Amino acid sequence: MYKTHKIRLNLTKQQEQHFWKAAGIARFVFNYGLERWKKQYNESLINHDTKKPSEFVLKKKFNAIKREQFPFVLDVSKSVSEGAFKDLGRAFANFFRRVKRGDAKVGYPHFKSRKRTKPAFYLANDRFDITGHCLKIQKCSGIINMAEELRFEGKIISGRVSRDCLHWYIAIGVEIEPPNHIHQKESVGIDLGIKTLVTLSDDGLQYENQRLYKSELSKLKCLSRKAARRKIGSNRREKARLELAKLHLKIANRRNDYIHKMTTEIARIYRIIGIEDLNVAGMVKNHNLAQALSDASFAEIRRQLEYKAQWFNGLVVPIYRFFPSSKLCSVCGAIKAELTLDNRVYVCGCGNVMDRDWNAATNINAEALRIVAGMAISTLKMDVEMNVRPNSRQLSVKRQLNNGVHNYTPER
């Protein structure tokens, strides 16, 4: 399994110039490949003998002409241009997947802009070396200082250098074995919300919604007006833009830190985690809730839970998005159809009185256990029909539960 450690770099002026050049070359190669891809695809529509484009064919053609036509790419590591073609191939793979799935926004790959694109480039594992706090990159002069040592021990797969508004970073991917983790508790249901960010079915434990964007909104508006009033292209406008970018970065870092700590704690404690399969893209179309939903980062919470649960040998079970978790009584099973968003306490005729979010989380937990049990039973029946031995059957159940539940959606 792969883990990535992102480390800040302390560069000299000469090293920073090299990084800017490498990021510019990566952007140039991506745009070159995209232009050739479009041209070759249009030719294949007219002339059927012309093959459709691919990243490997384009990379081969580029390597054949780069020394004569683009000699400046030789000033940086060979993996910089190779990584750009990999990014192009991945962009088209995502595009074709969304087209096949019928998404409303397919996201055709577009050219990268010097002003709007995040500076970044790829490094293969044989193009850089790490020793303690020291980083050595091929064709980059001197030893680069890293703010901390690499935390993981294992085979280094690759690295990606990137920059935010302040610093350069390197994200190092390492292949390591997951720990033999033992969970403290079996299962939990998670209800996501705006008033309370996360409510757990385990005794109604709640994580507050810090509303970090909203708390800094007045300052963001002030800095946005300040940047907009500056003359385009002036140094004062660039200074104001950088000040605004720093505040956005501060908000994002605080949000990521809070979500990482919360999801790590949940993934460590609970083996089975039930969570609603929310249509976040559709929910943000409600302009009254769009800002609050984006500030809460529901999709990021689920993404982190999925890979962290897999790391700790657990399960994340998405619950059918139309499952009436809030309207269903967790005691008697009755459905309260007239429940509104203003009703923060769930009151049922059977005598059940509890917090609305706690009731929803309890129902999500029960539904997640039902889904897991149904998958285990169906797997056992299949193994019996195939006359699988008991020990192999148990391994098959465990393998499917550990690897197959993450993207499972129950039929209705």
- Give the catalytic positions in this structure: 191, 276, 357
Q: Is 330 exposed, middle or buried (0-12, 13-18, 19+ CB in 10 A)?
A: buried
Strands of 88-182, DSSP E:
120-124, 128-131, 134-137, 144-146, 155-163, 168-175
Tokens representing 13? 């002026």
Q: Is 269 exposed, middle or buried (0-12, 13-18, 19+ CB in 10 A)?
A: middle
Residue type, 17: Q
The dihedral region occupied by 404, where left means phi > 0, alpha psi between -120 and 50, and beta the remainder, is alpha
Q: Can you tell me whether residue 196 is helix, strand or coil?
A: strand
Euclidean distance between CA atoms 95 and 89, whole angstroms: 10
CA distances from residue 316 to 189, 227, 273, 322, 399 in whole angstroms, order as listed: 10, 43, 5, 18, 14
Q: Is 232 exposed, middle or buried (0-12, 13-18, 19+ CB in 10 A)?
A: exposed
What is the largest distance, in Å, between two alpha-carbon atoms of the chain?
A: 81
Residue type, 286: N
Strands of 167-233, DSSP E:
168-175, 185-192, 196-200, 206-208
